[in-house]
Amino acid sequence: MKQRAGIVWLHGWASWPGMWRPLWERLPEYRHECAEFSGCKTADDFAAAAEAAIARLRSRMRIQDVKEPRVEDAAAASHEPDDGEALILAGWSMGALLALQLALDPDRRARLGIDGVVSISGTLRFTSDAPELGWPDRIVARMQKRLGKEPEATLEAFRALLWTAEERERMTAPSGSFPPLERTSVGQTQPGRPESEVPEQPCAHTDMSVEGLQAGLAYLRQTDLRERWETREGETGMPPLLWIHGRQDQVCPFGAAAASASVGGKNNDGAELAPYRLVELPDAGHAPIYFSVDRVAGEIRSFLDEQIQ
């Protein structure tokens, strides 16, 4: 039985690796690595970037002299290497869809050694004709068109959907959890800025270029894992899965996560499938790792304690 876990974090569309900092700080016992989407130019590039992050983490698990991760994480660097560590993919929004895609592919899952998946505000299919299950494809197509002309305005409009009204009040209050809202920056994470000046908001700036953002929207339009999820019955090696989703999510509606988690349970022979659990956050929007960060961190830790270690 594996005694520890390393987590590869996959951020969402128009976001950046540093968005995970609130969770890293609350999960210091695990080793952390982040995917970097700065070089992504096509829809297929995102899976390659995720695999590169997995390779970096695997390398750090094996070497004696553990180096600093690509994204600063002192807690992760303090661990002794352990080839018996479990590998967990954790994704938010588009990153959750990507994590599920890798885990639902038997060949990739075996080659990469995926031991568990955490989906935060994720779905098996981003677009849908049913509003309770996703966005209409025409809306995403419209975003692609506008992105080419007004990238900053497009990202600001998207970012406005991340929060509930209550969350927005909390972040804009004088004593709020976030600094005042500022214009979104495209294609830069501004790594040279002091940590205290880097806003934690997930789309305050992004490591994705406009070309990469277009590729991300193409990925969201074309990726559909619903059939793959339903036909996983009878497979061996499916890792346990934790779904965490805000009931008030306006980007990936809660109904999509609930519908996904309701499929399965046993295969055709009556055998139990890999464990999975859906955690509903009643008051949270699309980015629960901020205003519900303690709950999210606690759920991840409990999940790893129960299913992995």
Residue 194 counted as domain residue = yes
Q: Contacts from 41-47 at CB under 8 Å and sequence distance 24+?
A: 41/209, 41/211, 41/212, 41/215, 42/215, 42/218, 43/215, 43/216, 43/218, 43/219, 43/222, 43/223, 45/212, 45/215, 46/94, 46/98, 46/215, 46/216, 46/219, 47/98, 47/101, 47/102
> What pLDDT digit, counting tens, does each position of 277-304 carry?
899 999 999 999 888 999 999 999 999 9
Between these two residues, 306 and 150, which has the higher pLDDT value?
A: 150
> What pLDDT digit, counting tens, does each position of 175-196 carry?
444 433 333 344 443 333 333 3
Question: Do residues 78 and 178 both lie within one domain?
Answer: no
Rounded to whole angstroms, what are the CA distances from 13 to 16, 30, 40, 196, 303?
A: 8, 25, 12, 24, 25
Residue 254 counted as domain residue = yes
pLDDT band at 166 (very low <50, low <70, confident <90, very high): very high
pLDDT at residue 74, as a whole number: 35
Q: Provide the residue range defining the domain that includes 185.
A: 150-207
Question: Cα separation of 207 and 184, whole Å?
Answer: 11
Which pTM was predicted? 0.84
| Structural domain count of the chain | 2
Residue 139 counted as domain residue = no
Between these two residues, 184 and 139, which has the higher pLDDT value?
A: 139
Residues in Cβ contact with 128 at an 8 Å cutoff, skipping those fewer than 6 apart: 134, 135, 136, 256
Residue 296 counted as domain residue = yes
Question: Do residues 124 and 163 both lie within one domain?
Answer: no
Residue 236 counted as domain residue = yes
pLDDT band at 68 (very low <50, low <70, confident <90, very high): very low
Question: Do residues 164 and 275 both lie within one domain?
Answer: no
162-171, 217-226, 267-276: least confident range: 267-276
Chain center to CA of 222: 18
> What pLDDT digit, counting tens, does each position of 72-90 carry?
443 333 333 345 789 999 9
Amino acid (one-letter) located at 90: A
Question: Do residues 31 and 157 both lie within one domain?
Answer: no
Cβ 5 vs Cβ 180: under 8 Å: no
Question: Do residues 108 and 245 both lie within one domain?
Answer: yes
Is the pLDDT score of 264 beyond 60? no
Percent of the chain that is helix, strand, coil (3-state, to 5)? 40, 15, 45
The domain that holds 237 is classified in CATH as 3.40.50.1820
pLDDT at residue 78, as a whole number: 35
Question: Do residues 11 and 81 both lie within one domain?
Answer: yes
Question: Do residues 186 and 272 both lie within one domain?
Answer: no
Q: Span 124-142, mean pLDDT?
A: 95
Token pair 């599920």 is found at 100
Q: Span 92-115, mean pLDDT?
A: 95
Question: Cα separation of 70 and 86, whole Å?
Answer: 20
pLDDT band at 145 (very low <50, low <70, confident <90, very high): very high
Residue whose C-alpha is closest to residue 223's, from 98, 62, 103: 98
Tokens of 46: 């995102």
Percent of the chain with pLDDT over 90: 58
Residue 141 counted as domain residue = no
Question: Do residues 262 and 196 both lie within one domain?
Answer: no
